[in-house]
Amino acid sequence: MTDDLPAGGVVIDSAELTARWARAWQPEQAALRLRGVEAPWCVAAGWALDLFRGARTRPHGDLEIAVPAALFPRIRERFPEYEFDAIGSGRVWTGTAAPAMAATHQTWLRDPGTGDYLLDVFREPHQGDTWICRRDPAIRAPYESVIERTADGIPYLAPEVVLLFKAKSARPKDRADFAGTLPLLGPERRARLSGWLEQVHPGHPWLTELQPG
């Protein structure tokens, strides 16, 4: 998508961006606002791994959720007092103008009164009830197999899916997330992640660690 970004958009200084995300929501807040919404949404990224592990293991600079792209309007209507900005290649387009939305997959929920960002929404490819991996559309799975729930009902992306996305950059926090989650992955999860990594990132160093002991 980002190959066709429209003109305009602004780059926000990193210090300002950190300040504007300082009051990002917790998963419980997002779940409360989205209770009963008819869309298979879920908490993604680092927070999803913490929900899987049952405890907060590190600070989180934001809260990311994933939703089927075609059902984003159902999510958006739950936040009538806020605005969404389209995000791509480090640039921000204020409001959900059609060209920027069509060319990006990331959307930030903004408090128009303070300018604070509260929630990061990924609009993901899908086909009906089937999730399609943004990194490789050949990887597909029913939503019911990639969305799990905490004991109190907060939906989160399965850890093997989260780690597939984290493998691309493998920043220090991503490597720490992998190391902390790996002992909790059973044979089926390890096999699924290994297969995906071989397909998307052949030769990735995590493949060795995923092998049976």
Host H or E run for residue 15: helix 14-20
Residue-wise pLDDT for 19-54, tens only, equals 999 999 999 999 999 999 999 999 999 999 999 999
Task: Share the mean pLDDT of the chain.
Answer: 94
Strands 64-68, 117-124: pairing kind:
parallel
- For 121, how many CA atoms within 13 A lie in the half-sphere containing its CB? 29
Mean pLDDT is lowest, of 42-46, 86-90, 145-149, 202-206, for 86-90
Cβ-based neighbours of 64, under 8 Å, separated by 6 or more: 43, 44, 45, 47, 120, 121, 122
Long-range residue pairs from 16-23, CB within 8 A, at least 24 positions apart, any chain = 18/61, 20/115, 20/116, 20/117, 21/61, 21/62, 21/116, 21/117, 22/116, 23/116, 23/118
Mean pLDDT is lowest, of 66-70, 89-93, 124-128, 193-197, for 89-93
Q: Is the pLDDT score of 185 beyond 90?
A: yes
Q: Is the pLDDT score of 177 beyond 70?
A: yes
Determine what percent of the chain is predicted with pLDDT higher than 70. 97
Confidence of residue 212 (pLDDT cuts 50, 70, 90): confident
Query: Rounded mean pLDDT of 183-204?
Result: 97
Rg of the chain, C-alpha, whole Å: 17
Region for residue 98 given its phi and psi (left: phi exceeds 0; alpha: psi -120 to 50; beta: otherwise): alpha
CB-based contact 156:51 (threshold 8 Å): yes
Which pLDDT score is estimated for 1? 44
Q: Is the pLDDT score of 193 beyond 70?
A: yes
Which pLDDT score is estimated for 213? 62
Host H or E run for residue 174: helix 172-181
Q: For the whole model, what pTM was predicted?
A: 0.94
Q: Is the pLDDT score of 95 beyond 60?
A: yes
Which pLDDT score is estimated for 3? 52
Q: How far is CA 61 from CA 25, 32, 118, 204, in A?
A: 10, 20, 10, 26
